[in-house]
Chains A and B, each alone.
Chain A
Amino acid sequence: MKVTLNVWRQGGPSDSGAFQIYEVDDVSPDMSFLELFDVLNERLITKGEEPVAFDHDCREGICGSCSMMINGRAHGPERGTATCQLHMRKFEDGATITVEPWRAAAFPIIKDLCVDRSAFDRIIESGGYITAPTGTAQEANLTPVPKEVADAAMDAAACIGCGACVAACPNSAAQLFTAAKIEHLNLLPQGQPERWSRVVAMVDEMERFFGSCTNHGECESACPKEISIDFIALMNRDYIRAQFKQRRLTGQKS
């Protein structure tokens, strides 16, 4: 196959950046999208041009590193797929493909297609954990967790932190990421003691960086793990309840 790539090139955070057109021929349909970029980069290096910078690591859809906006869609056309899992057989021979980095104020561009997603780490640091220092744990089976609850928590916990939800959102909101992280813990019995403080801390931290949610639902369709937007509803419910909870009386401090 042969494809025409229209790729965003930007030297550094403060450079202005522009699209560059590259024709790539001899593309195998079995190639992954990132392998296409490997080939492009090899050819650029041969010509003496700097290769395109892009984040990647596991190349099997789990580390959340890869992050390309492909023809205006986060991770490209296929549902439930990270960029690294997308294969060229999903494109027409002769196609023109536009590739950009995630665009969001909270994700500044480092170079070309690489962005800085450390705002996500800040959200987790603000409360995305269960306080259980090493050594304090009791025997595991003393905490039964109904299977449905464990499964729902796992559905949320499957988030790979790639940022596609933010990139896809017209408001650059991070509700889906934050909700998945909060509800993974808030659904579990082990997560109850910090339930209310967690949701408040994480939502407040999220709002320092990201826009607000106006229910477009783009995040859900872009998510490579198909995390449900219902978790946002759960998060909002928890957040509101946390605001009104008589936490002193129920034994929870604010």
Chain B
Amino acid sequence: MTEANFESHVPAGPIEEKWDHHKFDVKLVNPANRRKFRVIVVGSGLAGASAAATLGELGYEVTMITFHDSPRRAHSIAAQGGINAAKNYRNDGDSVYRLFYDTVKGGDYRSREANVYRLAQLSVNIIDQCVAQGVPFAREYGGLLDNRSFGGAQVSRTFYARGQTGQQLLLGAYQALARQIHLGNVTLHERTEMLDLVIKDGKAVGVVTRNLVSGAVRSFSGHAVVLATGGYSNVFFLSTNAKNSNVTAIWRAHKRGAYLANPCFTQIHPTCIPASDDFQSKLTLMSESLRNDGQIWVPAQTDDPRSADQIPETERDYYLERRYPAFGNLVPRDVASRASKKEVDAGRGVGPLKNGVYLDLTGAISRLGRDVIDERYDNLMQMYERITGEDPYKQPMRIYPAVHYTMGGSWVDYNLMSNVPGLYVLGEANFSDHGANRLGASALMQGLADGYFVLPATIGDYLAPLLGSDPVPTDDPVFTQSEADVTDQVRQMLSVKGTRSVDWFHRELGKIMWEHCGMARSRESLEKALAEIPALREEFWRNVRVLGENESFNQSLEKAGRVADFLEFGELLCLDALQREESCGGHFRLEHQTEDGEAMRDDDNFSYVGAWEYKGADTAPELHKEPLEFEYAHPTQRSYK
């Protein structure tokens, strides 16, 4: 059944008309009938909260499930820098077409043109919507909206709310959601984790969850299931993602038949605070917006013992400005990250562990004054000071790349439906719009486009023909069987009673992933990872120690389930990286680079979306390819010189 649904469903016609035509062509559910449909939304980040709120407004009966204690705490809250929109308020030559083009190019020609074009079109509506909700975006003295620039673009199209854009956008969506909860259109189940997708007759009909406080396993059934469960960066253990972000929802859906696309497309963010010791539990991002005013440099000589202020201008290497004069400090993330790695590997790293490069705002401070810098980045400066104990107003910040975002995810068609009918996947959890590399300030845009505008317009097409059918009752054998599977797995984890903690396994997995499948990958390193991960997984099931019980709040048990999934998923990620014999975007294969170390794409052989089908625990997964065609943005070697 699933194979037949592996079809992008991109509508015909000129790219700028596809979405409008499509909205006209899809089936609709009339307002009076919408309350007869129950939709389950898992995840309350930007994508999930905006989708649930909008579906509630439209009149659908929505069940919202999140493992967080409040929808407002979803990982989206942490986004700092901003959100893109093709408003062209700066009169600097921006347009929907340019945002589309920049995004396809930034993604290194591995995304679907039609999806990206739609995203660029909807970007302008998002800003309107958020302003109407009261999102306090930064403004000019005349009262109109302010913008800044982000990497990979030569225009200023990023809207922001101090360094807390994600927080403000999420609060906007959360408040709209709260209103729907109040009106009774959305029912909220917090501290509830989805642990299985339930399928009947080939269609998604519900989910099985575990209540994190009581341990109770419970089924929810609906006419459609929407996963908006975020990214999987934490497979690397150390990342900029919130500690609880995980792959469980889309992984368990994968094991029930939903394809996973391009898992090897992971993004390393160039500007994070370098790790300081072995206790490090996560890495902290310093927003890319700092690259607007900051200059990146290292000492020109290796192992320079001097502090930054002792190194004269002539003995500094502003390597991004030198190597990429056109974009300078604003080259895309993948390019900036690899350039930093090259400097550190060559022994020009700075800081106590020599594991960073400088991001220097001191020039901008003397040029613009401390007030201006404060206004733009105050909370980031404070954050840096707290973590490192160093004052970034006096000495340059130290930064280094860290895992930050995952472009891969559940495969979805133009309607955001996976190959399993009735299962939709939104936001970072899907693979759809960013190709092999995401541009800064585009994840918030995608999450909100998916949730506010795309899903609400496309879901009717699937639901309309189901009018008159009730959701499958939760005492149906498909549900009870799945509940039994979930309960079994929980029992199994508790019964191992081994000697090593869940975190130990997570850290070990992270080391393997970062070492062998991080910023640079090779056949050799990937084959090592593919040998080490199954061994670690085997040890997990033999030797993990999960104390406590199922029937109460048990954070080790929660983590154990997530790490068990990472231990399976990590292998698929490496397998995907191995099959992709090219370098593109965030996926850099040492075997495939130009003479000056730039990524070398292979459009003849790899211009496709790699979508993996699960075939069972002991069988190799099968790769399906969705060919990518570029009618508008023609692939060229990306050049930011």
Contacts and interface: CB of A to CB of B under 8 A. Distances in A.
Q: Indicate, yes or no, whether A interacts with B.
A: yes
Contact of B552 (A51, A111, A129): A111
A153 interface: yes
A137 B132 CA distance: 6
B176 interface: yes
A100 to B, nearest CB: 17
Contacts, number: 211
B140 to A, nearest CB: 7
A59 B243 contact: yes
Contact of B134 (A11, A125, A133, A188): A188
Contact of B78 (A42, A58, A151): A58
Among A62, A64, A133, A150, max chain B CB count under 10 A is at A62
Contacts of A51: 547, 555-556
B132 A138 contact: yes
Nearest to B80: A62
A126 B183 CA distance: 10
B69 interface: yes
A147 B138 CA distance: 8
A191 B134 contact: yes
A153 B134 contact: yes
Contacts of B387: 32, 85, 87
B452 A134 contact: yes
Contacts of A118: 69-70, 190
Interface stretch (A154-162, A215-223, A233-241): A154-162
A45 B554 CA distance: 13
B131 A140 contact: yes
B171 A110 contact: no
Contacts of B504: 42
A6 B452 CA distance: 47
B242 A63 contact: yes
A35 B243 CA distance: 12
A160 B70 CA distance: 11
Interface stretch (B97-105, B274-282, B520-528, B534-542): B274-282
Interface in B50-85: 50, 53-54, 57, 68-73, 75, 77-78
A48 B497 CA distance: 10
Given A144-B144, A157-B171, A134 B54 contact: yes
Contacts of B285: 60
Interface stretch (B107-115, B121-129, B148-156, B421-429): B121-129
A12 B73 CA distance: 23
Contact of B178 (A56, A89, A121, A145): A121
Contact residues on A (Cβ < 8 Å of other chain), bracket = 35 or more
A111 to B, nearest CB: 4
The CB with the most chain B CB atoms within 10 A, among A61, A135, A144, A145, is that of: A135
B159 to A, nearest CB: 9
Contacts of B389: 30, 87, 89
A131 B179 contact: yes
Given A51-B556, A134-B54, A190 B129 contact: no
A191 B132 CA distance: 9
Interface string A56-75: 11111111110000000000
A97 interface: no
Interface stretch (B162-170, B363-371, B469-477): B162-170
B314 to A, nearest CB: 33
A137 B125 contact: yes
B175 A63 contact: no
A184 interface: yes
A130 B132 contact: yes
Nearest to A42: B501
A151 B553 CA distance: 40
A38 B244 CA distance: 14
A70 B280 CA distance: 21
A125 B386 contact: no
B477 to A, nearest CB: 34
A117 interface: yes
A93 interface: no
Given A63-B78, A154-B136, A129 B555 contact: no
A126 B68 contact: no
A164 B323 CA distance: 48
Given A130-B133, A140-B128, A63 B553 contact: no
B181 interface: yes
Contacts of B400: none
Contacts of A128: 175, 178
Contacts of B244: 57
B216 interface: no
A185 B134 contact: yes
Nearest to B451: A134
A136 interface: yes
B139 interface: yes
B216 to A, nearest CB: 14
Contacts of A31: 277, 279
B326 to A, nearest CB: 30
A60 B134 contact: no
B73 A63 contact: yes
B291 interface: no
Contacts of B284: 59-60
A23 interface: no
A46 B132 CA distance: 53
B68 A117 contact: no
B281 A34 contact: yes
B12 interface: no
Given A125-B179, A130-B132, A116 B69 contact: yes
A39 to B, nearest CB: 6
Interface string B335-375: 00000000000000000000000000000000000000000
Nearest to B552: A12
Interface string A112-129: 001011101100111011
A134 B453 contact: yes
A132 B126 CA distance: 13
A16 interface: no
A38 B503 contact: yes
Contacts of A12: 552-553
Given A31-B277, A45-B556, A141-B89, 18 more contacts: A45-B545, A46-B501, A57-B68, A57-B242, A59-B243, A62-B167, A65-B73, A85-B383, A89-B389, A118-B70, A125-B179, A130-B132, A132-B132, A150-B143, A153-B134, A157-B136, A158-B162, A158-B164
Interface of B: 50, 53-54, 57, 68-73, 75, 77-78, 87, 89, 125, 127-134, 136-145, 161-162, 164, 167-168, 171, 174-176, 178-179, 181-182, 188, 190, 213, 242-244, 276-277, 279-282, 284-285, 382-383, 386-387, 389, 452-453, 456, 501, 503-504, 545, 547-548, 552-553, 555-556
12 contacts: A31-B277, A45-B501, A45-B545, A50-B547, A58-B75, A58-B77, A59-B284, A61-B383, A121-B72, A136-B132, A140-B87, A160-B77
- Of all A-B residue pairs in the complex, the 6 with the closest CB atoms, nearest first, are A144-B143, A129-B175, A137-B132, A132-B132, A137-B128, A154-B136
